[in-house]
């Protein structure tokens, strides 16, 4: 196993990293997933969005945020005037974790060990892309980026300095909005999400 300071020596480019991730055996999640889903976007993007892990559709198609959560994400960034083609979009964990239920595959939250193992890839993405702004979509991404569990309510809406000079903005995961049953709560949470995206837009 290669230690953190030497990591970039085995990869010349972000593309090299993307080609290696599918063979990852750092945790057991590769066993049942279809494929690893690497980040996508301009290799020198100013802004990096980090989700939790691929969902069912992402696992099948090999691209991040293209399923239902991706639809919410696309609508929200568009509403904030952010062009997705300028963003680097990735996940804290690169393989889909699920339990089968009939024909469906039900998403399972990655655990701390899996998040920690997959930081190898997320750190490489950050080292190569060097984004000025990193956005954590949800608690899993925030944990991966901060290195410990953080609550969204106590961190959202303000810039947190990361060691590499980038700033971190923490907000909710778009799937969280999808799961809220009460329309009023949903509308209120959607407004908070929109406000966070407007803040990000103002920083770009």
Is residue 41 within the footprint of ligand URA (CB under 6 A)? no
Rounded to whole angstroms, the Cα distance separating 57 from 134 reads 24
CB of 26 or CB of 95, closer to ligand URA: 95
Structure tokens at 150: 């953080």
Q: How far is the CB of 52 from ligand URA (least distance, A)?
A: 4
Is residue 91 within the footprint of ligand URA (CB under 6 A)? yes
Residues 49-68 that bind ligand URA (CB under 6 A): 51-55, 58, 64-65, 67
Contact 173, 69 (CB under 8 A): yes
CB of 59 or CB of 131, closer to ligand URA: 59
CB of 54 or CB of 131, closer to ligand URA: 54
Rounded to whole angstroms, the Cα distance separating 24 from 44 reads 24
Contact 36, 29 (CB under 8 A): no
Q: How far is the CB of 55 from ligand URA (least distance, A)?
A: 4
Is residue 125 within the footprint of ligand URA (CB under 6 A)? no
Contact 75, 193 (CB under 8 A): no
Q: How far is the CB of 9 from ligand URA (least distance, A)?
A: 29
Among 90, 86, 93, 91, smallest CA distance to 44 is for 86
Is residue 114 within the footprint of ligand URA (CB under 6 A)? no
Half-sphere exposure of 76 (CA within 13 A, CB side): 29
CB of 58 or CB of 196, closer to ligand URA: 58
Contact 114, 148 (CB under 8 A): no
Binding site for ligand URA (CB under 6 A): 51-55, 58, 64-65, 67, 69-70, 91, 175
């Amino acid at each position: 196993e290669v230690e953190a300071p030497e990591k970039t020596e085995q990869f010349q480019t972000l593309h090299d990293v993307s080609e290696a991730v599918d063979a990852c055996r750092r945790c057991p999640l590769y066993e049942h997933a279809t494929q690893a889903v690497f980040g996508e976007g301009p290799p020198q993007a100013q802004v990096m969005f980090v989700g939790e892990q691929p969902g069912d559709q992402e696992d099948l198609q090999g691209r991040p945020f293209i399923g239902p959560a991706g639809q919410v994400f696309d609508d929200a960034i568009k509403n904030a005037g952010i062009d997705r083609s300028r963003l680097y979009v990735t996940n804290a964990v690169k393989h889909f974790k699920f339990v089968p239920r009939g024909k469906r595959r039900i998403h399972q939250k990655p655990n701390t060990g899996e998040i920690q193992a997959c930081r190898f890839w997320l750190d490489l993405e950050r080292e190569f892309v060097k984004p000025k702004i990193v956005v954590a979509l949800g608690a899993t991404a925030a944990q991966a980026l901060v290195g410990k569990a953080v609550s969204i309510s106590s961190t959202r809406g303000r810039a947190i300095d990361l060691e590499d000079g980038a700033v971190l903005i923490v907000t909710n995961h778009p799937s969280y909005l999808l799961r809220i049953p009460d329309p009023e709560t949903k509308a209120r949470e959607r407004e908070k999400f929109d406000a966070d995206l407007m803040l990000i837009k103002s920083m770009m």
